Structure 1
Amino acid sequence: MIWMFKRIDHVGIAVKNLEEAIKIWEGLGFKVEEIEEVPDQKVKVAVIKVGENRIELLEATTEDSPIAKFIEKRGEGIHHLAIRVENIESKLEELKQKGYKLIDEKPRVGAGGAKIAFIHPKSVTGVLLELCERKE
């Protein structure tokens, strides 16, 4: 079964220092709409809206968070691409049946209360792909 993506939801960018990153992005003319901490993911998120899409600046809140590990290994930069979907649970089941390696077999809560789940980069040409279901 072929399933359609709704659109790109956001690009997640790992940063060492959120305040400094905000200054840089605001200097480019972008505006941070909100800042939120997501304790479950050990991350602080600054949301920049760009039309219907978002850029999420991601700062680790603990040394053992996925963002801290990413920065330690690769430095600051693009961490993931998030695609907006409907019925994330069925999408995950479909991908699992097709043999994709899932980081999350069940959705969890992400920034803004979205249901999210990640697909392993080894299954997606080296890209960490996030499925994201939001209430419109």
Structure 2
Amino acid sequence: MFMRIDHIGIACHDLEAKIAFFSETFELEVVAREVNEEQGVKEAMLHIADGEGGGSYIQLLEPLSDDSPVGKFLARRGEGVHHVAFGVRDVTETMAKIDAKGVRLLDERPRHGSLGSQIAFLHPKDVGGMLTELVQAASPDEMAKKRS
């Protein structure tokens, strides 16, 4: 069902400071920046490596407001891992399979994600307390456009 770990989402107070840290310390390159109003975040995707079915990334997330999901997370838990995202071939099909196994979906249908992907989230209480994201990567042509 899962092809790879697509990304690890890390909540932070200061996106620019965290980008500098991950770039300088781990020599990771920022390949995309985006403001996602729907999710209430400014984000940066830092490329780790490419593999079967797409790349792996660190996603840094700064809330646009204190009452956004990431803002609330930071208030409760502080900076750190917010979610783990798994790459899948077909997010809609994977959602149906997981739903049929009794795991609650936070999304009824896929929505826009980073780098042109389609995403959906699973309820953390059904996945051992871990917010879990499913990611269907954009086609290689779409990825090339987003990364250039």
Both proteins in one fold, TM over 0.5 = yes
Q: Partners in 2 of 1:101 and 1:51 — Cα distance?
A: 31
Q: Partners in 1 of 2:32 and 2:109 — Cα distance?
A: 27
1:63, distance to aligned residue in structure 2 (A): 2.1
Letter in 2 for 1:45: E
* Counterpart check, 1:30 vs 2:28: yes
Partner of 2:64: 61
Q: After the TM superposition, which parts of structure 1 deviate over 3 Å for at least 4 consecutive aligned residues? A: none
Residue 46 of structure 2: SS of its match in structure 1?
Answer: strand
Q: Partners in 2 of 1:30 and 1:90 — Cα distance?
A: 32
Q: Partners in 2 of 1:51 and 1:26 — Cα distance?
A: 14
In structure 1, stretches of 5+ residues that fail to align are none
Q: Partners in 2 of 1:117 and 1:130 — Cα distance?
A: 6
Q: Partners in 1 of 2:38 and 2:60 — Cα distance?
A: 17
Letter in 2 for 1:23: A
In structure 2, stretches of 5+ residues that fail to align are 51-55, 140-148
Q: Partners in 1 of 2:31 and 2:90 — Cα distance?
A: 27
Q: What TM-score do the two structures reach when normalised by structure 2?
A: 0.85
Cα RMSD for the two superposed structures: 1.1
Alignment identity in percent? Answer: 41
Q: Partners in 1 of 2:80 and 2:110 — Cα distance?
A: 25
Residue 81 of structure 2: SS of its match in structure 1?
Answer: strand
Q: Partners in 2 of 1:112 and 1:33 — Cα distance?
A: 9
Q: What TM-score do the two structures reach when normalised by structure 1?
A: 0.92
